[in-house]
Structure 1
Amino acid sequence: MPSRIGLLPQVATAHSISHLHIMALAALFPLLPAWFGVGYVELGLALSLFNIVSALLQAPMGFAVDHYGARRVLIAGLALGSCSFLLIALFPTYTWLLVAMALAGVANAVYHPADYALLAQGIDPARMGKAFSVHTFAGFLGAAVAPLVLPAIAAASDPRLAFVAVALAGFAALALLLVPGSGIPRIAPARTAKAAAGKPDNARRRLLSPMILTLTLLFVLLNLSTSAIEKFSLPALMQGQGIALPWANAALSAFLFASAFGVLSGGVLADRTRRHGLVAAAAFSLAALLTALVATAGFSGQALVIVLGVIGFLTGVIAPSRDMLVRAASPKGAEGRTFGIVSSGFNIGGALGPVGFGWLLDRGMPEGIFWASVVFMGLTVVMTLAQEAWRSRSSRHIKHSCS
């Protein structure tokens, strides 16, 4: 088995930067309309472009990971993503923002297939749930840093320097991946599905199986459920409830940090239970209820921080179980392309949501941001319960057939 020394920390660091890049624009949303001279719909379009490009390239990047090796693809993606945000700082116009976000979308398509392929090859299967939780925790932590650090940098100078900081963080992570003798270079490219399975047609059918397509749709709903809060809660709270920017930032940061620690708790659950659908349904049901309260109750700043923190923790709990479901559905040797296909659901959701969420803000309906999240959380609960029921019936059928 390949050495695991340094592998998880390096992959987790790269994942944290990917989420910092994802959240960079959203963390600066209250400042950007005046800086670029555009509205929230136009900013939402930039986010949608980022996610459309990522959605189109997730599956091809998964094939590239399995063919060329995850290390090469991951290094290239991290370098491109960092350069993209440097472009925004160098050319601060809306046109260049669109160009940079499209390039960042190319880079973002790399992370999930490359990261998960490296973990699947280099981590002891008995510890896979915890490894996935650490990996996801690092990503959520990178996202949580954005609303704390980037607005402060922008306020001290202007958004240009905040985008420079985002780029420099990426270059620092890239240097860590290139350390000689580190864990990542020891991971060889995965065998292709053809070599692993021996039957290309069978492997192709498994990659497009109902389970993988269902998981892809689940990822779409998960993104729509949480991205409304992650990307648009700052202006929604300020417009709709008169929350001052420092308290709105604190509430969003509580959501993101609690999500990260929820992931760690979810990693323990993922290694101890097979009822991943029930875990997700229970957590998201309670999160939907609390999000509805945020939309209607008019919490004070302190209470809002607590409630959004609880919501974040609940949405983070399900992440490792989600990843374990994808790993279980992946054909041997095709982990990169499987995670590439399924992770495209995140980007599909990310492409659909921002323009609609921006439209709600521009039309003076900020409470709609939270109600939209409630609706998508409810759909996620229905889907996970239906999937759990289907798995239970299939298991009983198999046992009956064998008896």
Structure 2
Amino acid sequence: MHLHQGSERPAGGKRLLLLVSLAHLVSHVYILALPPLFPFLRDSLQVGFVELGLALTVFNVVSAVAQAPIGFLVDRIGAQRVLAAGLGLGGLALLSIGLVGTYAWLLVGAAMAGLANGAFHPADYALLSAGIPKAQLGRAFSLHTFAGYLGTAIAPAVLIGLALLAGPGLALGVVGLAGILLVGVILPMRVPAAEDQSRTSAQGRFAGGPNTTGGSVFTLAIGSLTVFFALLSLSNGAIQNFSVAALVNGYGVSLTQANAALTAFLMLSAFGVLMGGFLADRTRRHGDVAAAAFALTALLTLFVAVADLGAVALMFALGAAGFLSGAIAPSRDMMVQAAAPPGGAGRAFGIVSTGFNVGGAIGPLLFGWILDHGAPRWIFGAAVGFMTLTVLMALCDRWFARKGDGSGAPRA
């Protein structure tokens, strides 16, 4: 691995952040590559939506199983190699689905894409933790997360536009090839060692080479953060995936108004992430920041749950809730970075990110059951409950900061 020295560090850090964020954007396009094409794939593959949904299940199950082991691999062989492999495998998966054009291969390709998806969070955060100065890390995490939100936003338009022009196979092929080409930029990337981190033997080895630094990640702090991530996934998933159905069926809100409210939530979440980066760099009490922001989010969501708001008030309430929920993302990531042992960022982020998969697996079943039993207001009520638990888990960060990581070592 090559390291920038002296005055090259700032430029190297910016380039690192740009490339890692670009990889994160592509990873979110990978995640959403298939769902927008379901109407096309149903006709071309001659299958139903249940069969197509099975491909997403395969993707998520493989990703959940792979993420923690890949986190250990990041710390063993280097995040740069793992990130390049994830980009390449994900791109190859989509390209092959487009070329082969059979349902059986759709499932195989979905499994390949799920394995690739497990690489991005551990590798991305390990690279940023190693190459970005600690005083700027919150903003770096926020821009990285924002890039993922942007990838989510553009994926449907890109895939559907390409499919309308030349068919779903070409749409998947173009996206897959773009990711494969990005590998050629990631592999020769020069990863700087942040000046304030270069004193530890682990720094730099996150990116390009094996890391032999010890330190267990099986601590109370990492365990609590995994639960924290699962609760975040449950509460955000309730609003992102089920709020439109709940508003239409239980509040007398039109489909257009419900979608406008959800759009406000999602759009302002992205801008909240950027604001959260500045907050994260101005305090070390990241648990308190996350708890305060999410407590306000819970109050706004409770207001939506119990009140009959007009269309404009509903949009403002959910928009403000989205902004606040986005603002905690950089503090959330800083909590994990602080809990990780030296040289263990890949392992730590790999483990805690499985919480997203757990929440993503449980949430749809729970919220679907709520709607099937005619209680749409409880979509927001359940979200409030999970948000309250999230606040309590965030406040535990102060306790862990005092007690250390469970091994007696003080937290950074």
Contact 2:235–2:387 (Cα < 8 Å) also in 1: yes
TM-score (norm 2): 0.77
Contact 2:19–2:186 (Cα < 8 Å) also in 1: no
After TM superposition, the structure 1 = structure 2 runs for residues 352-391 of structure 1, keeping only pairs within 5 Å, are 352-389=362-399, 391=401
Task: Give the match for residue 263 of structure 1.
Answer: 273
Moved more, 100-109 or 165-174: 165-174
Amino acid at match of 2:88: A
TM-score (norm 1): 0.79
Amino acid at match of 1:80: L
Per-residue CA deviation, residues 288-312 of structure 1 (Å, 9 max, x unaligned), is 2222333343444444333222111
Determine the C-alpha separation between the residues in 2 that align with 1:87 and 1:355: 31
Cα distance, 1:238–1:78 mapped onto 2, change above 3 Å: farther
Task: Give the match for residue 331 of structure 1.
Answer: 341
Determine the C-alpha separation between the residues in 1 that align with 2:328 and 2:377: 26
Determine the C-alpha separation between the residues in 2 that align with 1:23 and 1:335: 26
Query: Tell me, which stretches of 5 or more residues in structure 1 are unaligned?
Result: 198-202, 399-403
Task: Give the match for residue 200 of structure 1.
Answer: none
Contact 2:91–2:179 (Cα < 8 Å) also in 1: no
Per-residue CA deviation, residues 46-67 of structure 1 (Å, 9 max, x unaligned), is 6554333222111111122223
- Deviation, 1:216, is 1.3
* SS of alignment partner, residue 4 of structure 1: helix
Moved more, 74-83 or 167-176: 167-176
Determine the C-alpha separation between the residues in 2 that align with 1:258 and 1:349: 22
Moved more, 361-370 or 381-390: 361-370
Cα distance, 1:125–1:212 mapped onto 2, change above 3 Å: same
Contact 2:82–2:119 (Cα < 8 Å) also in 1: yes
Q: In structure 2, which of residues 67, 74, 83 is the aligned counterpart of residue 58 of structure 1? A: 67
Amino acid at match of 1:112: H
Moved more, 220-229 or 285-294: 285-294
Task: Give the match for residue 196 of structure 2.
Answer: none
Task: Give the match for residue 16 of structure 1.
Answer: 25
Determine the C-alpha separation between the residues in 2 that align with 1:184 and 1:371: 48
Cα distance, 1:68–1:130 mapped onto 2, change above 3 Å: same
Larger proportion of helix: 1
Q: In structure 2, which of residues 222, 230, 252 is the aligned counterpart of residue 220 of structure 1? A: 230
| 2:132 is aligned with 1:118 | no
- Deviation, 1:315, is 0.8
Q: In structure 2, which of residues 299, 309, 315 is the aligned counterpart of residue 289 of structure 1? A: 299
Q: Which has the higher contact order (CA 8 A, sep 6+)?
A: 1
| % same residue | 52
Contact 1:251–1:309 (Cα < 8 Å) also in 2: yes
Task: Give the match for residue 168 of structure 1.
Answer: 174
Q: In structure 2, which of residues 71, 79, 84 is the aligned counterpart of residue 70 of structure 1? A: 79
Determine the C-alpha separation between the residues in 1 that align with 2:217 and 2:213: 13
After TM superposition, the structure 1 = structure 2 runs for residues 198-237 of structure 1, keeping only pairs within 5 Å, are 203=215, 206-237=216-247
Determine the C-alpha separation between the residues in 1 that align with 2:374 and 2:36: 20
